[in-house]
């Protein structure tokens, strides 16, 4: 799909977009981030960021230690795979 094309609202998966944005924030961070930091970077509420983070932790794409979050090796592998294929 050409990214310059307008996407109809009903075809846009907001939840997926937010989950990917969360992974981008954590993959680009130089240190583990707290929920508030992720929320600010994503432009969402702390509650929304927490739900997104916990979902990513449960799926293995984000690691959590004492309230600090970072992209897990599984999460970072997505970025590495795209870089290797020249997709980014």
Cα 62 to Cα 6, 7, 49, distances in angstroms: 31, 28, 13
SS3 state of residue 1? coil
- Identify the structural domains of the chain with CATH numbers, from first to last: 14-84 (1.10.10.10)
Rg (CA), the chain: 14
pLDDT band at 52 (very low <50, low <70, confident <90, very high): very high
pLDDT mean across residues, the chain: 87
Distance CA 59, CA 80 (A): 18
Q: What is the pLDDT of residue 72?
A: 93
| Paired tokens of 9 | 């609202």
pTM: 0.78
Name the residue with tokens 């980014």: 88
DSSP secondary structure letter of residue 4:
T
Tens-place pLDDT, residues 1-36: 555 567 788 888 889 899 999 999 999 999 999 999
């Amino acid at each position: 799909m050409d990214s310059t094309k307008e996407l109809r609202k009903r075809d846009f998966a907001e939840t997926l977009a937010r989950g990917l944005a969360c992974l981008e924030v954590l993959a680009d961070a130089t240190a583990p981030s707290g929920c508030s930091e992720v929320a600010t970077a994503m432009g969402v509420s702390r509650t929304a960021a927490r739900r997104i983070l916990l979902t990513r932790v449960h799926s293995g794409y984000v690691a959590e230690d004492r309230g600090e979050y970072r992209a897990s090796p599984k999460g970072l592998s997505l970025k590495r795979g795209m870089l290797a294929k020249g997709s980014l």
